[in-house]
Every structure is written in C-alpha cells, then in structure tokens.
Amino acid sequence: MKTKSEEKQCNIMGMVMIAPTRMIVADNTNFKIKLIDNEKCVVVTENKMSSQPVDVIILPENKLAVTLESEKCIQIMSYTDVDLSSDRRIDVKELCNGIAYCHYKFVVTCWSSKKIIIINLEGCILKVLRSPAMFNGPSRVLISKDEKFLYVTDRDLRSNSSVMKIDLEGNLISVFKESGYAVPYGLQQLEDETILVCFQDRGTVLRLTSSLKRCDIIGPEKENMYRPKAITYCHIYHKLYVSCSSEKGKQNADIVKIFNVKWI
C-alpha cells in the first residue's frame, strides 16, 4: 500500500471494491485515497486529500464518498479503472467517522458526539439517532439489504463496546457483546446477509448472522493477523481483503492481507 514518495507508514482505515480487480482504500496517515490493482497488488493512482480520510464507500454512477472527520465534511469523488478525481463536498457540521448510503441519503456515525445522523445529498439533517444509554462511540455503519436496519460497531475506550443492529428509529434490535471482543471496527455485509466484523483486540474477523449470532471466524490461531481495521469482500472471486498491522504492537494498518474464503 505504501508508495515510494511516502515517508509515513500507511494506515488503511477504509476499503471498498469497485470491480473484481480494483479496490479503493483510504490511507489516513498519508491523507490519500488510493486506487489499487488487486491482481498486481500495486497502487494505480492516488489522490491527495486536504485532511485525513476516515472511511470510503461506493456510490452510484462511478462515485465515491469519503469522510473527512476533522473538516466535518463528506468529499464526493469520481473514479474510473485508472483515475480518481475530486468533485463537490457536503458539509456535515459534525466530526464524521463511518458512512453508508441508500436512496439519496447518507448515514454518518459521529464517534465523539455519540450519535448517528441521516442526511440528504445537500447535507440537510433528516434524522438524528442519539441515545446515551445505547451509544458509547459509533464507528462504522452498514445498511441492511432490506434497508430497514443499521449495523453499527460501537467502540468505547473503557472496553464497553459492541456490535449493534438498530432500526431507523434508533431502537435496539440485537447486539453482539462477548468477553474478549472489546474493539470492533470494520464491517462488511455479504450476499447472504451475514456480517463480517473486525475485532482489533483479538486479531480476528468474526462472521455474524443478521441477528448478530456468531457463525464463523478468521482468527489469529491460523492467520497471524494483528489489529484488523478495514475489510471488504469480492463476491466474484471469493477473496477477503483485511487491512491490518504488519507487526505485533503496531497501531497502523499498514498492509492488506488477502484470504480465499467462499461463503454460501
């Protein structure tokens, strides 16, 4: 992930597939969005951002949305197989972290203010989900395939963390919270509606059912994975991509590991 011109180690905090052989990553420490050739494992092109990108998702019509947390905005970008370019910005007015999209609306997590906001494409707030009894620090978010629920990784510095399924009114539907799984981060939904979750403290990716019951694991016992952070999956080639640290004790997710994993 690191290019020759970069002095800092990468920190891949967001990833998304745009084609079976192309992936977009958000490199937080180098202020960059990078287009990756998955087959050759090379950076095709990159775009320097004005601040540190936190999350990235794909939008219709060859567009991307990138959260720039410190600038309290969403950067809209265009992409091709070989190029990236910046388009307009959407002012969020909040320190924004994770992002999801559905039907001309963005769902944005605000970790520091412990809430989730739903906004339109102009940045107007449509709904605020905020419950001190529920959120400790919502980080990453997904919208369910039926568009009725949100999956959220909720991180707390005191290890009071969980993965939650809530409805669009903010009501808690189900929760995954187990001893030893304290730092959930990246999320990915599969075609069968199961959810993949990175647990940084365990060096583990858990596969959970849509009701957040454990059903599969990719763990440190076999894979030697440190602090997994971002995750994406290619349904065509059945490849799982996980950003993680190259060495034990490192904080940055400076490499991407690739696994051949087929889920039915």
pLDDT tens track for 47-69: 999 999 999 999 999 999 999 99
CA 141/CA 124 separation, integer angstroms = 19
What is the pTM assigned to this prediction? 0.94
pLDDT at residue number 219: 57
| 89-128 tens-digit pLDDT | 999 999 999 999 998 999 999 988 999 999 999 999 999 9
Asked: is 12-185 a CATH 2.130.10.10 domain? The reply is: yes
Residues β-bridged to residue 149: 167
Collapse the DSSP code of 220 into the 3-class scheme (helix H, G, I; strand E, B; otherwise coil) and give the result: helix
pLDDT at residue number 159: 63
Residues β-bridged to residue 16: 24
The pair of structure tokens assigned to 174 is 């189900």
pLDDT at residue number 43: 94
Is-contact 50 67, C-beta < 8 A? no
Q: What stretches in the chain show pLDDT beneath 50? A: 221
pLDDT at residue number 153: 96
pLDDT at residue number 187: 97
The pair of structure tokens assigned to 41 is 């494992």
In 190-254, the DSSP E strands lie at: 195-199, 204-208, 214-218, 231-234, 239-244
